[in-house]
Amino acid sequence: MLPRLGGMTDAAHDPATPDTVVPPPEPARPSGASALLIRGLRKSFGAKVAVEDLDLDVPTGSFYGLVGPNGAGKTTTLSMATGLLRPDAGTIEVLGTDVWRNTVKAKSLVGVLSDGIALFDRLTGEQLITYHGLLHGMDRETVAQRTGELLDLLDLRSAGGTLVVDYSAGMTKKIALGAALVHAPRLLVLDEPFESVDPVSAANIRDLLAGYVRGGGTVIVSSHSMDLVQRMCDHVAIIGSGRLLAAGTTDEVRAGSTLEDRFVELVGGRHHSEGPTWLRTS
């Protein structure tokens, strides 16, 4: 049984119930198999090593944050975990299914929002979500129903007939999220889902994701916003230069201080200066 998109059905069928109360992230929710299990992952582009011997465990039912500086290998790792980029070495399992051996089954379990990858943007928003649903082999009625609900949920109903190419950056992110959700995946892999999304939509998306996790789904989010990750995620991993620097529940990783301080401490590279003197106006 696929997990219900909790927030989705609530909001669609019972508008009286405001779905805004997000419970604080619960620490460590141990459960059976890992939603995502990475062992010895390695990838290099020419001479540049992007990911080096990376191990990662994402427990089922967790809201997992993946943070790291620019070029740390977050996108590369997530691309390999979702079957978009072939690793040089290592194994990746999604809910016990090897991504690179049983590709089709693994892909049916995962919903992907990639950063920096184009959509079929000459389709309207409605057509795009429908397209993703049909590609997953769903029947027409289910696709139509879920497309409608997703458009409502993402505040894109009025823009459903507009070509995606004419969307703003934030709307494009939202429609891509809708396309990633339509087949009710067990694991959601979201690369920078909140970039250029307005605060109201971001809050709606957070509710949606929290509801999804409550319904048994697993979310992996990569982000640059430490505050957001600290508030939203119950688990977090810090990646730097293609290696895992720290991983665990958010509280374990931040170890008393804020996630941002801990991140800077682990990653390094912080300058202590007040900037050039000519930049001071007084």
Partner 1 sequence: MVAHLLRLRFRLLLNSFTRSTWTLVSAIIGAAWGLFILVGLVAGMIALSYAEPVWVWTVSVLAGGAAVLGWIVVPLLLRGVDQSLSVDKLRIFPLPPRRLLVALLVVGLLGVPGLVTLTAGLSTTLSWLGHPVGLVAAPLAAVLGVLTCVTASRAFESVGASLAAGRRYREVMGVLVFVPLLLLGPIIGVAGSSLATISNDLPDIARTMSWTPLGAAWSIPGDLVLRRNGEALAKTGIALATLAVFVLLWRRSLAVLLVTPPRASGGSGSAKGLGPFAWYPATPTGAVAARTTVYWLRDPRYGGSLIMLPLLAVIAVFLASTGSDWFLAALGPVIAATLAITLCAEVSYDGTAFATHLSTGVSGVADRVGRVITLGLLSVPLVGVATVVPLLVLDRGEQIPALLGIGFGLLLTGFGVSSVASARFLLPVPAAGESPFKTPPGSTFTSQLGMYAAWLIVFGLAIPELALGIAAIALGSVVLGVAALLVGIIAGSIVMVVGIRQGGALLERRGPELLASLMRARGA
Please say which residue, 162 or 241, places its beta carbon nearer to partner 1.
Answer: 162
Q: Which is nearer to partner 1, 12 or 84 (CB)?
A: 84
Give SS3 for 24: coil
Q: List all residues 6 or more positions away from 15 whose beta carbon is below 8 Å from its beta carbon.
A: none
| Closest CA relative to residue 91, chosen from 54, 128, 146 | 54
- Shortest distance, position 248 Cβ to partner 1, whole Å: 28
What are the φ and ψ backbone dihedral angles of 42, each rounded to 5 degrees? Answer: -145, 135
Residue 183 or 206 with smaller CB distance to partner 1: 183
**CB of residue 64 to partner 1, shortest distance in Å:** 19
Q: Kindly state the smallest distance separating residue 253's Cβ from partner 1, in Å.
A: 29
Question: Alpha-carbon distance 210 to 194, whole Å?
Answer: 14
Sign of CA dihedral 208, 214, 220, 224: positive
Least distance from C-beta 239 to partner 1, angstroms? 20
CA of residue 226 relative to chain centroid, distance: 14
Helices (H), 31-138: 74-81, 103-109, 125-135
Q: How far is the CB of 222 from partner 1 (least distance, A)?
A: 16
3-state secondary structure of 92: strand
- Cβ nearer to partner 1, comparing 20 with 145: 145
**Residues of the shown chain interacting with partner 1 in the complex, contacts defined by CB under 8 A:** 82-86, 103-104, 106-108, 110, 112, 114, 116-124, 126-127, 130-132, 134-140, 143, 158-163, 165-166, 168, 179, 183
Shorter beta-carbon distance to partner 1: residue 52 or 131? 131
